[in-house]
Amino acid sequence: MIGLILAAAGAGSRFGSAVPKQFLPLDGVPVYLRSLETFSPLVDRAVVVVPSAWKDRVICETRDRWQGRIDVETGGEQRQESVRRGLLFLPPVELVLIHDAARPFVTTDLIRRVLDESRRSGACIPGLPVSQTVKEVAGSIIVRTLDRTRLVLAQTPQGFRREILIEAFRKAEEDGFCGTDESILVERIGIPVSVVEGEPGNLKITFRHDVPGQL
């Protein structure tokens, strides 16, 4: 079985809207729902983690579409806590996918690539090659130029065997560590994380100029 945790609990303050961006309509469909629906044919169960004020609405919008295959739960203060809560509510699936609700342009091809590699290796993320020169700086001074051939921009969905993810969250909680995505938690417990090619179109909506005129 394959489970999905859709991270939709963020406030989206950088977007500059009174309504969190993941609940705004994109071509008439809420952003989070566009993300969620792409996964529907490929996963067995899903948990959507949302701000408490949006829980009832999301339950209403997803109940009929997913026919008992979905739970909606309240997220935490940080993404890591929200995903941890989602993991607690998933049944004992084999693989867990974690996806940003604010990436509504994810494709089934990308999801399948992540799933295939997650089955093989146990941990996988999609990544985009870095096409520009990247500098490490201290204040306003360049420390060094990084080798961009060794760098990727991490995307979601990220996929993991359930037992690996559970141990990664357990260790992070034990150490009081908070990471920016799930793969860094898995890296910390010594599990290699594979990378498959991401997609430029799989952008994360952060600012209004990310989708000009659409939201």
For residue 173, give the CATH number of its domain.
3.90.550.10
**The pLDDT value given to residue 77:** 86
Domain count across the chain:
1
Please check whether residue 56 lies inside any domain of the structure.
yes
- 126 has which bridge partners? 196
- What is the tens place of the pLDDT at every residue in 192-215? 999 999 999 999 987 665 565 565
**The pLDDT value given to residue 11:** 64
**Residues with Cβ < 8 Å from 135, sequence gap 6 or more?**
142, 143, 144, 145, 146
Please check whether residue 215 lies inside any domain of the structure.
no
Please check whether residue 18 lies inside any domain of the structure.
yes
Please check whether residue 207 lies inside any domain of the structure.
no
Domain with 27 in it: 2-198
Span 105-113, average pLDDT: 97
pLDDT at 17 over 60: yes
pLDDT at 104 over 90: yes
CB atoms within 10 A of CB 114: 28
| Beta strands at 45-50 and 123-129: parallel, antiparallel or unpaired | unpaired
- What is the tens place of the pLDDT at every residue in 35-82? 999 999 999 999 999 999 999 999 999 988 888 899 999 988 899 999
Please check whether residue 167 lies inside any domain of the structure.
yes
pLDDT band at 19 (very low <50, low <70, confident <90, very high): confident
Please check whether residue 55 lies inside any domain of the structure.
yes
Cα distance between residue 181 and residue 40, in whole Å: 23
Please check whether residue 177 lies inside any domain of the structure.
yes
Cα distance between residue 136 and residue 5, in whole Å: 33
pLDDT band at 126 (very low <50, low <70, confident <90, very high): very high
- 2 has which bridge partners? 95
Please check whether residue 203 lies inside any domain of the structure.
no
Q: What are phi and psi of 117, to 5 degrees?
A: -75, -35
pLDDT band at 22 (very low <50, low <70, confident <90, very high): confident
Q: Are 47 and 39 in contact (CB under 8 A)?
A: no
pLDDT at 144 over 80: yes
